[in-house]
Amino acid sequence: MDYNILLYYCYAPIEDLEAYRDEHHLFCIENNIRGRIIVSSEGLNGTVSGLKEDCEKYMAYVKADPRFADTEFKVDSHHEHAFAKINVRAKDEIVHSGLKHINPRVKTGKHLEPEEFKALKDEDDVVILDVRSNYEHELGHFKNAVRLDIDNFRDFPEKVRELEHLKEKKVLTYCTGGIKCEKASAFLLEQGFKDVYQLHGGIIKYGLEAGGADFEGKCYVFDNRLAVEVNQVNPKVVSKCFVCGTASDRMVNCANPECNEHVPICESCGWEMEGACSEACKEHPHKRSYNGTGYYQKNTNGYNPYKGFYQKPNATKIKSVLHGKPHS
């Protein structure tokens, strides 16, 4: 386990968006960090991988910027990179919610550390609310959690009207790493919910620090692992094979690239269906070759992370920042 996988976010204003995006991108290239990072005027959101020593450098780099000094990293061990390349993108939000008016640094639900969440979640006046999408909570969720029928987090605000009867309850929100809960819990408060909390660090931190008790199934993750174990105390499989209906938490990316659905498929059906989720996908002319894992590495197509970079007007400035000079 020579590699680490880092999951993190930080709400903090970034004014020099494009310049910082380029600087961040170059640092990752030069330190062999791979993954997906979103840079927005409201902050950072990333999942990256690298050798342990490179990840240490990366965490130090992020925290050295005063804007992101309080960033908390969830750190997991792995035997290889979890990504094929680095992708740093500038977007309107660090997680697409449609709630751009909400600033979690101004107002959000009360943060609960994993042990605090564990102690509070079974009280009579408590409701546990999963704010993730269907394909995530169908694979795994907290015991007795309320799960909304949403395909994307941006659908969450519309669904809150279904929770009106819970306004006087203690509402404990949770998601994978904590980022969705920042705005989800704030929106609940905005809609008149009185007592709103969030699991700080999400399911991943809960598993790492509190043993994962009562999280049933696996946690969907956005890297080549697809799903990870959380519960070391009382694990339970809650998802079913998409093909035959037997209990299975083996997440598979459909071999048909034009379908590309992520669904649980048991090992037997995986081989029988050649990694496809349906007969139509199995017969698709562009179906990818199934290797038993259900994960298909994207074609890098001669990917060159430096391409066009040094033609940018601010390239020299960025190089100087990364090699010793302070942030502008």
* Residues involved in catalysis: 175
Identity of the amino acid at 62: V
Are 35 and 223 within 8 A, CB to CB? yes
Q: How far apart are CA 53 and CA 110, in angstroms?
A: 34
Burial level of 1, CB count in 10 A (0-12/13-18/19+)?
Answer: exposed
Of 266, 265, 244, 262, nearest in space to 253 by CA: 262
Q: How far apart are CA 42 and CA 103, in angstroms?
A: 8
Are 212 and 233 within 8 A, CB to CB? yes
Q: What is the phi/psi pair of residue 191, to 5°?
A: -90, 10
Q: How far apart are CA 173 and CA 206, in angstroms?
A: 13
